[in-house]
Structure 1
């Protein structure tokens, strides 16, 4: 793990208490980020998002898979089993998320530590996106109940790191899912209660994922000293006593919450942090959705040439 000296920690902590961080931001100010979508040609949808030096690339692949239940699955993969256990109906598709942090991005991602980080981030994504408030209409992914469905694979590659990794991943995931298209399927009854389906090859018939607009983003609030900040840098994360991760959708509703580290929180401060996360989350979603619409318009006018946008 990266280390920080007591004098550096004291300098950062006192600056935050004075509402002035190392890079000149206030406690609840976000850094600018650049977003690009549709950059992986072999994926059903993709996005690259750079938040300062934190650089994340996401590819989404849509494939046909079997509907599994907790009574029929013999999958030994812990992440897959978490998804199966959360879905008792036989008429739902599923989302399978996988995060890989490149060892060249940070010394924290080398050796055994990388596996722990990758598993933790993957589990958070799987539980949020497959949960009741994950946004995606999982029933719309069903092709033949009890038999086959669409499986959405979300593969995350962390290229570089400078703090606030989870928030960056969820922002990029929302954009990648907005960019994803699912082929049109025609179902036919061949008699005796049997169904078969045919997938259209026409790209223009492909549709957006239902419910992508309700996919939440996460807002991570780091408590340093007696104050808290959002969008912490790598150095600020080393000074963090405790942090709260709150998933928020476009309506400002809380979809998930998780506390990390061992510090304590005053109930009144926790209430304030939750309120801040809801406000910041709604603004982030509004800004990113507006930017994605603008990108699509610009790309259509320039024969699908891709543009990167600052937010």
Structure 2
């Protein structure tokens, strides 16, 4: 964990107050973001995202058939898992990494594991009361330079957009018995219904500037040194319609009700803008790939990276 002197802390916090951060961005400016989808051939969908400065996340999506839950006989489900590579940061080494993995996994699962995810869970059911599709989302943090949760949400949304589920044919055997067959033809695979409604995460940080005695919101995306100056942070999941799909507080400081409302409104505005840009990038990339395939050209995925 890096250590900050008081002079360094004052430099960062007063820069935030002046709306000029150390890397030249304003408080609400993004770092450059690059991504590519479809880079894991063994997965049903995948994406890799890097934020300028180093935070690097790889997400793979795998769909498998399993028994429905007894209390959810007509829907499928989403299961999330986040792992931090020990080489990504010193703070990911040792037993502390397990706690961080659990924290990040739970944050992602709370948003994507329920109806607020946006995906039509009923469409994931194959035979009511028997089988359904389970969507496994596995995220790996390859490199860390702050604001990792936002990067995970962006990469997950891109990977789900890239995901295709095989079609199934169901046969009625009579007496309430059914059988199904999974079609092998890749061209018949379908996109997840409702994937356009999957939210992104927007993290806002409360920074107290000592010299001016005021609070400022520091977003987007906080660097590791800026995170050390954060009293409290709020992760807000927002979908394309500006609906808040989940909120999670981090750090030890408090957030006043008025500031909380301001943070939520800021997240809604920033989140919708991010989704519009991300969707446009994903559709453009998909169109380019389809055009190459129609022309008989070889489609090569670099894995690192196509520019947004």
> Equivalences for 1:1-311 in 2 at 5 Å?
1-52=1-52, 53-69=54-70, 88-225=71-208, 226-230=215-219, 231-302=221-292, 303=297, 304-306=299-301, 308-311=305-308
SS of equivalent to 2:109: helix
Structure 2 alignment gaps of length 5 or more: 209-214
Task: Give per-residue Cα distances to partners, 1:58-96, cap 9 Å, x unaligned.
Answer: 111111011123xxxxxxxxxxxxxxxxxx321111111
Would the aligned equivalents of 2:199 and 2:237 in 1 still touch at CA under 8 Å?
yes
Would the aligned equivalents of 1:2 and 1:108 in 2 still touch at CA under 8 Å?
no
Distance 2:270 2:102 in 1: 27
Task: Give per-residue Cα distances to partners, 1:106-147, cap 9 Å, x unaligned.
Answer: 011011110001011111111111222111111110011111
**How big is the shift at 1:105?**
0.4
TM-score (norm 2): 0.92
Distance 1:276 1:293 in 2: 26
Would the aligned equivalents of 2:74 and 2:129 in 1 still touch at CA under 8 Å?
yes
Distance 1:189 1:3 in 2: 66
Distance 1:117 1:105 in 2: 13
Q: Which runs of 4+ in 1 moved over 4 A?
A: none
SS of equivalent to 1:133: helix
The alignment of Structure 1 onto Structure 2 pairs a total of residues equal to 293
Distance 1:92 1:27 in 2: 42
Distance 1:12 1:239 in 2: 8
Distance 1:183 1:33 in 2: 31
Coordinate RMSD, CA, aligned: 1.2
TM-score (norm 1): 0.92
Structure 1 alignment gaps of length 5 or more: 70-87
Distance 1:208 1:2 in 2: 43
Would the aligned equivalents of 1:223 and 1:241 in 2 still touch at CA under 8 Å?
yes
Distance 1:64 1:7 in 2: 56
Distance 2:115 2:169 in 1: 28
Distance 2:3 2:142 in 1: 21
**How big is the shift at 1:266?**
2.7
